[in-house]
């Protein structure tokens, strides 16, 4: 038993010798028992990261460990649902669950798998190929949870589910995490949905980890500020209406804080910063929501990352 569910050190993956890096220099540690959101723009490297953790891809450089060992040795204890939810199309729903039982002797939780399928009103005799995308997702999640995994890797699990199914299956996942201490790592583009369910965040962009840590810690490290910019006149930025986004670090009023995003509208300056010390008394401050934080980093790919440099460091 280890208190680390997943750790990466200088992890990198390049597809083909001449291909670009899908993932590069990723270092982070995910404690066991957490529900972790992996977010980032299209092509950021989220699926690549999950496939490396599942042992379906081999790193080009660096290392990833899951449940204290290499991904191949942990496979029996890890559930993985890939983005395209691969299943055998010619099998029926019931046959698919039987395969799950056969492949996981001594671990298979038939009751949970059956309950997930039944909640979707699925005919057990229906072939996988005739199911809708959302119904297939339900069967894939039933298979993954039936395995009683210690770590669940889910690549956009909610993408094709209707709102009720999303709510129900998210509830099932959260109950699993709370009852059995299952670690869940799931990629998603719907950040607003993650705030209540996830406690850890990995924000990936351009193949690099840009934010990594407990969501509460990450939110506490950032402050939304607004102030009247004394030296910044209506057209100081050169825009005709005096409204402009600024590049991080570009405004002297915000020094020495790390600026993730700033905007000047007339004489009004608003910004999301990582304070490097006390903030000026006349600044109005508030804590950002998770969605605000993620959107600010997504809009500003040049903002300085906030990640541990060594996996061990994140344990403190
Ligand atoms: N099998 C592959 N061969 C070549 N390049 C690949 C392969 N898989 C992924 N890539 C490239 O690696 C990069 C990261 O892709 P990945 O699928 O991990 O991104 P993602 O964050 O999951 O994106 P999305 O949100 O669109 O699902 C992309 O530039 C993609 O083109």
Can you give the pTM of this predicted structure?
A: 0.89
185 and 282 together in one domain: no
The ipTM estimated for the assembled molecules is 0.98
pLDDT in tens, 252-266: 778 889 999 998 888
Q: Which of 22, 54, 207 to mutate to test the pocket of ligand 1 (most atoms within 8 A of CB)?
A: 22
Q: Does 238 have pLDDT greater than 60?
A: no
For residue 109, tell me if it sits in a domain.
Answer: yes
Which pair of tokens denotes residue 276? 């490097």
* 86 Cβ below 6 A of ligand 1: no
- Using CA atoms, how far apart are residues 5 and 33, in angstroms rounded to an integer? 8
Q: Where are the alpha helices (DSSP H) in 181-237?
A: 191-194, 215-220
- Using CA atoms, how far apart are residues 134 and 155, in angstroms rounded to an integer? 14
152 and 38 together in one domain: yes
* Ligand 1 atom, smallest distance to 207 CA: 14
Domain boundaries, position 189: 4-217
For residue 85, tell me if it sits in a domain.
Answer: yes
179 and 155 together in one domain: yes
For residue 303, tell me if it sits in a domain.
Answer: no
166 and 251 together in one domain: no
Distance 206 CA to ligand 1 centre (A): 10
183 and 239 together in one domain: no
Range in 65-74, 127-136, 190-199, 298-307 with the lowest mean pLDDT:
190-199
152 and 18 together in one domain: yes
* Ligand 1 atom, smallest distance to 156 CA: 27
187 HSE (CA, 13 A, CB side):
23
> Which CATH number is 46's domain given?
3.40.50.300
187 and 230 together in one domain: no
Q: How many domains does the chain have?
A: 2
66 and 117 together in one domain: yes
169 and 281 together in one domain: no
pLDDT in tens, 198-217: 999 999 998 999 999 999 99
- Using CA atoms, how far apart are residues 209 and 205, in angstroms rounded to an integer? 6
Amino acid 316: pLDDT: 36
In the predicted model, what is the mean pLDDT of the chain? 88
For residue 315, tell me if it sits in a domain.
Answer: no
198 and 270 together in one domain: no
Q: Does 298 have pLDDT greater than 80?
A: yes
- Quote the distance between the C-alpha of residue 229 and its chain's center: 36
Residue 205's nearest CA partner among 49, 309, 65 is 49
* Residue 57: φ, ψ to 5°: -125, 150
Amino acid 248: pLDDT: 52
* Residue 256: φ, ψ to 5°: -100, 20
139 and 157 together in one domain: yes
* 262 Cβ below 6 A of ligand 1: no
Distance 60 CA to ligand 1 centre (A): 15
Domain edge (last residue) among 193, 217, 241: 217
């Amino acid at each position: 038993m280890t208190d680390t569910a997943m750790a990466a050190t200088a992890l990198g993956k390049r597809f083909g010798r001449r291909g670009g890096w899908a993932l590069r220099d990723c270092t982070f540690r995910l404690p066991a028992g957490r529900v972790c959101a992996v977010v980032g723009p299209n092509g950021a490297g989220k699926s690549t990261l999950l496939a490396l953790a599942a042992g379906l891809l081999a790193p080009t450089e660096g290392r990833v460990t899951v449940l204290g060992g290499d991904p191949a040795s942990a496979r029996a204890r890890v559930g993985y649902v890939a983005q395209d939810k691969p299943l055998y199309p010619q099998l029926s729903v019931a046959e698919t669950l039987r395969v799950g039982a056969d492949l996981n002797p001594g671990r298979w939780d038939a009751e949970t798998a059956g309950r997930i399928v039944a909640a979707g009103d699925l005919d057990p005799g229906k072939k996988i190929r005739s199911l809708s995308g959302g119904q297939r997702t339900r069967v894939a999640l039933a298979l993954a949870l039936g395995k009683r995994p210690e770590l669940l890797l889910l690549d956009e699990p909610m993408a094709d589910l209707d709102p009720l199914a999303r709510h129900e299956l998210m509830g099932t996942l959260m109950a699993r995490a709370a009852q059995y201490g299952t670690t869940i790592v799931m990629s998603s583009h719907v950040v607003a949905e993650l705030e209540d369910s996830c406690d850890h965040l990995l924000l990936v962009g351009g193949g690099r980890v840009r934010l990594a840590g407990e969501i509460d810690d990450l939110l506490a490290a950032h402050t939304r500020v607004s102030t009247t910019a004394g030296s910044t006149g209506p057209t100081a930025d050169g825009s005709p209406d005096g409204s402009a986004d600024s590049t991080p670090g570009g405004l002297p009023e915000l020094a020495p804080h790390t600026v993730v995003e700033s905007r000047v509208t007339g004489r009004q300056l608003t910004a999301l910063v990582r304070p490097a010390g006390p903030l000026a008394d006349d600044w109005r401050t508030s804590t950002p929501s998770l969605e605000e934080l993620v959107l600010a980093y997504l809009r500003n790919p040049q903002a300085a990352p906030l990640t541990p440099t060594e996996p061990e460091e994140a344990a403190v």
